[in-house]
Amino acid sequence: MSPDLLELASRTSAGAGPANFNGPLRGLKVIDAGTMIAGPLAATHLADFGANVTKIELPGVGDSMRHWAPIKDDRSLWWKVIGRNKRLVTLTLSKPRGQELFKQLIRDADIVIENYRPGTFERWGLGYDVLSRINPRLVFVRVSGFGQTGPYAKRGGYGTIAEAFSGIPSFTGFPDRPPTLPGFPMADSVAATFSAMAAMFAVYNRDQGGSGRGQEIDVSLYEPLFRLAEAQVIGFDQLAIVKERQGNRLAEDSPRNTYRTRDGRWVGISASSQKTFERLARAMEKPELISDPRFRDNASRCTYADPLDAEISGWFADRDFAEIAEIFERADVVAGPVLDIKDIFSDPHYAARENIVPVPDEDFGEVRMQNVAPRFLGTPGEVRHSGRALGADNREIFIGELGLNEAEFSSLKAEGVI
């Protein structure tokens, strides 16, 4: 083995990275029993901050994310990100022997995360009632399309369906076009963030403010998005407001849009406060906009958003991006360019904040991906390695930790249990 691969092997041993890594969740044991995005991404968030995360995958097949594009040399690059910082084992939970091994794995675990259709873990004899008798301290996070209860609980619930069900696409997009879905798995990603947050709430309650017992947490894909809709519910309740699609505008904020420069770049602006609007008007050398009664405050500007947008759009169309950036920098205008990923890779602020980091990878030597967020100044998280091969830690965990002998290990492999 080359020196580089020896170093990589030492860093990825037990999925924990360097022995001196001191992330804020060091010592927390998590079992990632999920698949695809929502559950596994929640576990990745915890792993990024030092939790000891063991991911379970189906033998021979692995998590579906191992097969998602983009693909390089028959390896999923998406898997490299969502599988990072985890120990990896294979285990068939639908088989009785697999269920026995799972129960052994969770005996000293703090958190289990799963995102199968409601009822699946119960069918396998692995419901919370069973697991909590084995480990009363266990926090069991369950992510599903519509939640564990209600008339839609048994429905399949991919992120796209949850996004539509949340109501957000109904007011996202342009008024003369269909409702717009996000260009990434937003529902899964937001639910994953809420799941990681909820798991830590429950651990705090268990260890600091509760009885020492864990609990079951029910996270749907649609409810975190619905929570982010903020004033939609109270607006309808009190004023019967049904928010409609307005493109990049907001009914509560004007000017707020993206504007195209002469050289084809796009710039986003939000200037709802009076001070930010006045700085924008002066930077554009259009002080008459400030004294125009149609634009005297944010409420008036929202009423007359069309003529205001026309003024700003015309000004942008006559200038190149570099000139506008320089003008706005001098005038302290709240604005920012619309970046694509190529722009981001060369942006100095992204570089200074180390938002993209090089990560050791067993297939490609080194890959770059998003750094850990948010940023802890005392005990920061760290990307210690990318997602690795299927069953990479089977021997270490099943023999080294659960105490199986070589004959048992070989027999379970032959039976497709591991």
User: What residues are annotated to the active site?
Assistant: 188
Three-state DSSP class for residue 68 = coil
Strand duo 335-337 + 266-270: pairing? antiparallel
Q: How far apart are CA 259 and CA 249, in angstroms?
A: 12
Q: Name the CA dihedral angle for 57, 62, 66, 67, rounded to a multiple of 10 degrees.
A: -140
CA 89 centroid distance within chain: 23
Interacting residues of 76 by C-beta distance below 8 A, sequence separation 6+: 65, 66, 67, 68, 69, 70
Which helix (H) or strand (E) segment holds residue 369: the answer is strand 365-370
Query: Could you give the residue ranges of the DSSP H alpha helices within 205-347?
Result: 222-228, 232-239, 274-283, 288-291, 298-303, 305-317, 321-331, 341-346
Unique residue bearing structure tokens 């798995």: 185
Burial of 90: CB neighbours in 10 Å, binned 0-12, 13-18, 19+ = buried
Residues 119-122: contacts with CB under 8 Å, at least 24 apart:
119/154, 121/93
Residue for token pair 């981001």: 344
Two tokens, residue 184: 């990434």
Helix (H) or strand (E) holding 31: strand 29-32
What's the token pair of residue 213? 């017992």
